[in-house]
Amino acid sequence: MILGDSELRELGFASLGENVRIDRRATIFGHEHIHLGSHVRIDSFAVITAGPASVEIGSFTHIAAHTYLSGAQGGITLGYGSGIAPFAALYSAVEDYTTGRLTNPSVPADLRETSVGRIVLGPHAAVGSSSVVLDGRHLGFASAVGALSLVNRRVRPFEVVHGNPIRRVGRRPEVDLRRRDDELVVRAAAMGIDVRSEPGGSLAGTS
């Protein structure tokens, strides 16, 4: 039940690559603020909000079922090859639950306090099922967040973290990942896709 090519074009995304598969039951707000690379899959019941801030979705990415990408206020960047597992949520704006401010978008904005910042996933970063990523956090190249985690700090390249709040539990093998990343870059280039020049793509050089 995916949208056809002409339907995708009519939605008016800011940019749209090749072989983009979006399930009809995904809910997307602010198409004109959303950039989509190539070979992207967005599954049923994913919800994505954008505008005025942009949501940049790189090539070879997967946004699984029942995910929530709240990018409207702070923006979200998903580097190529990154993935969001089912039921995970990325909040680029988070209301302050600790002070005397009121909360929730139905009360006037001047009575609330919201912390806002772009969430950036480097290439091949993986967010496990039912995890939550707070505003402004960066996940480095090929980092991994285990299931049911709260990402309340930066995750370094190749780092494996899990828990609430996250703690470091390991490091993914850099040599293997770089070799396979190089292979993907070459294959993408053969398809006319320059993944390293996409938003977040330059983070591939970090370690």
Ligand X SMILES: CC(C)(COP(=O)(O)OP(=O)(O)OC[C@H]1O[C@@H](n2cnc3c(N)ncnc32)[C@H](O)[C@@H]1OP(=O)(O)O)[C@@H](O)C(=O)NCCC(=O)NCCS
Residue 186 CB, shortest distance to ligand X, in Å, is 25
Q: Show the binding pattern over residues 156-195: x = contacts ligand X (CB under 6 A), - = does not.
A: ----x-xx-----xx-------------------------
User: Shortest gap between Cβ of 115 and ligand X (angstroms)?
Assistant: 25
* 40 burial via Cβ count (<10 Å: 0-12, 13-18, 19+): buried
Residue 119 binds to ligand X (criterion: CB under 6 A):
no
- How many CB atoms sit inside 10 A of residue 119's CB? 25
Contact criterion met (CB below 8 Å) for 198 and 185:
no
Is residue 34 within 8 Å of 195, Cβ to Cβ?
no
Using the structure block, give the residue that is written with the tokens 């990523």: 133
State which residue, 22 or 155, has the beta carbon closest to ligand X.
155
Asked if 205 is part of the footprint of ligand X (rule: CB under 6 A), the reply reads no
Interface residue with ligand X among 37, 75, 123, 128 (CB under 6 A) is 128
Residue written as token pair 């993408």? 188
CB 128 within 8 A of CB 144: yes
Q: Among 34, 90, 132, 144, which residue interacts with ligand X (rule: CB under 6 A)?
A: 144
Contact of 116 with 95, CB cutoff 8 Å: no
From 4-12, 16-24, 91-99, 144-152, give the range in contact with ligand X by CB under 6 A. 144-152
Contact residues for ligand X, defined by CB under 6 A? 85, 128-129, 144, 146-149, 160, 162-163, 169-170
